[in-house]
Structure 1
């Protein structure tokens, strides 16, 4: 897969036809085809280290913390006592790194299907792969579907850190996946999944939210800013089995000093509340 032209990488994908994002590459650190996907790691001029899977940017050293912190702390702070957390995907280690920072989390179980992504991240992305060193973490290499089928009513929070809905991640955006997560949760459990951007993928946002609403009495869509993702934005669908959950207002709020002491760079209580505020045209689409 030749994605470089004159030392520039350009991302293109069927999910956002007619547009691309490019960055200058100083060095190709790694290229390898795993049994599941084509893995690339670049050292870049302006973004630091960059992980790319099947030609799509997964994370960059410059802005990865926005995505990792929000997909982790939005659901964690909506649960009164998120002691046991399941992460599906997240082979770069970033979500595990940030989930481990939450003071009420005692146990993290992670299931990642591609061992090569874990291996490559440990070698080239240590600022994220540090998550694998947490004493709270038990890591399994395997299929998240199969794992959850054998672990019913076990987790307080399930976080799905998937790539985009092409290739091996397609099944993580279907309603049967939300039903499976529901069965793996304890009563009053919460799920959070990557759900695309409304600028380029409105149908994906609507369908993913609809699937979540069909399984959970409380569900909502929230966003965060990630400059190197399509349109500079990514969204999450969050669902709760507790009908009294107010997703927009976290159960546990942190002061700015507490946020700083945990090593968080993006998430805080005000950002949490603002993440659920959507533009009028998006609200029209979701309500319809």
Structure 2
């Protein structure tokens, strides 16, 4: 490692997070559209029918960034994370159409969360793993928020990476990692079927099961209950605020994945501190 003071590594991580956040925006916007188009083509192929269109939406890596309204390619200065959006005043340089607030928010979130990871773990391989964990959670939360879908292309790699890191071990030993993954999946799976039997409705999707399983693989089974409680609390606060501000209808389903991801990241970074605060509050030894 380079001989830099701790604060410098935190700044480096924050800048790196801003840059990665720009890429995460691409993943959040393009991966679901790409997957749905591919599923459509696969369905036509299975049915032995001619597809109505053979073209796929822009890929994640090859196609350059462009305005979603006028399709004009963006200049390099327009792609500067966070600052590009601010300098443009939130509008396309060419057609003046508004640019979604999602872009700077995801970049800022990625930058701050990345800095927090290095502040927590220091400049080492543990922090590198923590950064990957953070970035994948941001991508999953963003996709689920927009589409109410958690793609296997991200949840499964996150799950397997957590299990593989337990072999080192890095965060938990292999046994807790395996138990965490299994209990994480089965707990929400059980709630899903119980709710469906009682109401005839689906309260959540299978992607939520897989995401909680991945969190269990990274942090072990003892983290699952706090994550569920935190995600429920975060969901109640944000959901209630959105309904109160009339930004979300009461009868419109709200994705649970972003709240699981947020709670999982908070517990990953500050779980020990939260437990300590709770013990002091309750007068526990």
Query: TM-score w.r.t. structure 1 length?
Result: 0.29
Bigger strand share: 1
Q: Which has the larger radius of gyration?
A: 2
Bigger helix share: 2
